[in-house]
Amino acid sequence: MIISKVVIGFVTQRYDTEKKQFLDQEFHASDDVNWENEMGESVDAPQNDNGDEPYLNYEMIQPAAHDFKIGDSVIAMPDGDDNWHEFQGTVKLFRDNGNLITIKDQNDDCFDCRPGQLKHL
Protein backbone atom coordinates (compact mmCIF):
# COMPACT_ATOMS: atom_id res chain seq x y z
CA MET A 1 0.00 0.00 0.00
CA ILE A 2 1.23 3.52 -0.79
CA ILE A 3 0.76 6.07 1.99
CA SER A 4 1.76 9.73 2.29
CA LYS A 5 3.46 11.57 5.12
CA VAL A 6 1.88 15.03 5.40
CA VAL A 7 4.04 17.52 7.32
CA ILE A 8 2.64 20.86 8.42
CA GLY A 9 4.99 23.85 8.15
CA PHE A 10 5.83 26.95 6.18
CA VAL A 11 8.47 28.44 3.86
CA THR A 12 10.26 31.79 4.20
CA GLN A 13 11.59 33.20 0.91
CA ARG A 14 13.88 36.26 0.68
CA TYR A 15 13.56 38.47 -2.43
CA ASP A 16 15.92 41.22 -3.66
CA THR A 17 13.77 44.04 -5.11
CA GLU A 18 16.74 45.65 -6.90
CA LYS A 19 17.94 42.46 -8.65
CA LYS A 20 14.35 41.26 -9.02
CA GLN A 21 15.15 37.72 -7.96
CA PHE A 22 14.83 35.37 -5.00
CA LEU A 23 17.94 34.97 -2.87
CA ASP A 24 17.13 31.93 -0.78
CA GLN A 25 14.46 30.10 1.11
CA GLU A 26 14.06 28.33 4.42
CA PHE A 27 11.74 25.40 5.05
CA HIS A 28 10.23 25.17 8.53
CA ALA A 29 8.69 21.78 9.27
CA SER A 30 6.73 21.22 12.44
CA ASP A 31 6.27 18.02 14.40
CA ASP A 32 2.63 18.05 13.24
CA VAL A 33 2.64 15.00 10.95
CA ASN A 34 -0.22 12.96 9.53
CA TRP A 35 0.02 9.73 7.58
CA GLU A 36 -2.69 9.22 4.94
CA ASN A 37 -3.67 6.56 2.46
CA GLU A 38 -4.39 7.32 -1.20
CA MET A 39 -7.99 8.22 -0.26
CA GLY A 40 -6.79 10.89 2.20
CA GLU A 41 -7.80 8.86 5.24
CA SER A 42 -5.57 8.82 8.33
CA VAL A 43 -3.49 5.69 8.86
CA ASP A 44 -1.00 4.63 11.52
CA ALA A 45 2.61 5.68 11.00
CA PRO A 46 4.75 2.87 9.61
CA GLN A 47 7.77 1.56 11.51
CA ASN A 48 11.12 0.46 10.16
CA ASP A 49 12.90 -2.72 11.35
CA ASN A 50 14.14 -1.11 14.59
CA GLY A 51 10.66 0.17 15.52
CA ASP A 52 11.24 3.83 14.61
CA GLU A 53 9.13 5.89 12.26
CA PRO A 54 10.91 6.14 8.88
CA TYR A 55 12.57 9.48 8.14
CA LEU A 56 13.51 11.10 4.84
CA ASN A 57 15.44 14.39 4.67
CA TYR A 58 13.53 17.24 3.07
CA GLU A 59 14.99 18.40 -0.24
CA MET A 60 15.41 22.13 0.09
CA ILE A 61 16.43 23.44 -3.31
CA GLN A 62 17.79 26.97 -3.27
CA PRO A 63 17.51 29.46 -6.12
CA ALA A 64 20.45 29.46 -8.51
CA ALA A 65 23.30 31.75 -7.51
CA HIS A 66 23.60 34.09 -10.49
CA ASP A 67 22.61 37.65 -11.25
CA PHE A 68 20.90 37.22 -14.63
CA LYS A 69 17.37 38.62 -15.05
CA ILE A 70 14.70 38.22 -17.72
CA GLY A 71 15.48 40.68 -20.52
CA ASP A 72 19.25 40.90 -19.87
CA SER A 73 21.47 41.10 -22.96
CA VAL A 74 24.15 38.42 -22.82
CA ILE A 75 26.86 36.65 -24.77
CA ALA A 76 26.31 32.87 -24.79
CA MET A 77 29.38 30.66 -25.11
CA PRO A 78 29.10 26.95 -25.99
CA ASP A 79 30.87 24.24 -24.07
CA GLY A 80 32.10 20.89 -25.39
CA ASP A 81 28.63 19.30 -25.65
CA ASP A 82 26.93 22.15 -27.52
CA ASN A 83 26.44 22.22 -31.30
CA TRP A 84 26.14 26.01 -31.62
CA HIS A 85 28.55 28.94 -31.84
CA GLU A 86 28.96 31.93 -29.53
CA PHE A 87 26.15 34.46 -29.98
CA GLN A 88 24.49 37.49 -28.43
CA GLY A 89 20.98 37.13 -27.13
CA THR A 90 18.40 37.96 -24.49
CA VAL A 91 17.46 36.06 -21.32
CA LYS A 92 13.91 34.76 -21.82
CA LEU A 93 13.26 32.02 -19.24
CA PHE A 94 14.70 30.25 -16.20
CA ARG A 95 14.30 26.48 -15.81
CA ASP A 96 15.55 23.83 -13.41
CA ASN A 97 15.50 26.29 -10.49
CA GLY A 98 17.61 28.78 -12.47
CA ASN A 99 20.31 26.27 -13.35
CA LEU A 100 19.26 26.46 -17.01
CA ILE A 101 18.64 29.78 -18.70
CA THR A 102 16.89 30.01 -22.06
CA ILE A 103 18.50 32.59 -24.35
CA LYS A 104 16.80 33.89 -27.50
CA ASP A 105 19.21 34.87 -30.29
CA GLN A 106 18.76 37.54 -32.98
CA ASN A 107 17.06 34.97 -35.26
CA ASP A 108 14.47 34.20 -32.55
CA ASP A 109 15.99 30.75 -31.95
CA CYS A 110 16.23 29.66 -28.29
CA PHE A 111 19.06 27.83 -26.55
CA ASP A 112 19.36 26.51 -23.00
CA CYS A 113 22.57 27.54 -21.25
CA ARG A 114 24.06 27.12 -17.81
CA PRO A 115 24.86 30.38 -16.00
CA GLY A 116 28.61 29.77 -16.42
CA GLN A 117 28.18 29.93 -20.21
CA LEU A 118 26.83 33.50 -20.08
CA LYS A 119 28.31 36.96 -19.72
CA HIS A 120 26.46 40.26 -19.47
CA LEU A 121 26.88 42.68 -22.39
Boundaries of domain holding 100 = 73-120
Residue 115: give its domain's CATH number. Answer: 2.30.30
**Rounded CA separation 71/76 (Å):** 14
**Rounded CA separation 24/63 (Å):** 6
Same structural domain, 79 and 47: no
Tally the domains of the chain.
2
Three-class secondary structure of residue 95 per DSSP? strand
Please indicate, yes or no, if residue 68 is contained in any of the structural domains.
no
Contact status, residue 85 vs residue 78, Cβ threshold 8 Å: yes
Please indicate, yes or no, if residue 20 is contained in any of the structural domains.
yes
Amino acid present at 46: P
Last residue of a domain, one of 63, 90, 105: 63
Q: What is the pLDDT of residues 33-84, one digit of tens each?
A: 999 999 999 999 999 899 998 888 777 766 667 889 899 999 999 988 888 8
Residue 103 has pLDDT above 90, yes or no: yes
Q: What is the pLDDT of residues 6-42, one digit of tens each?
A: 999 999 999 889 878 888 888 898 989 999 999 999 9
What pTM was estimated for this model as a whole?
A: 0.51
Question: What is the four-CA torsion angle of 40, 25, 54, 45, rounded to 10 degrees?
Answer: -30
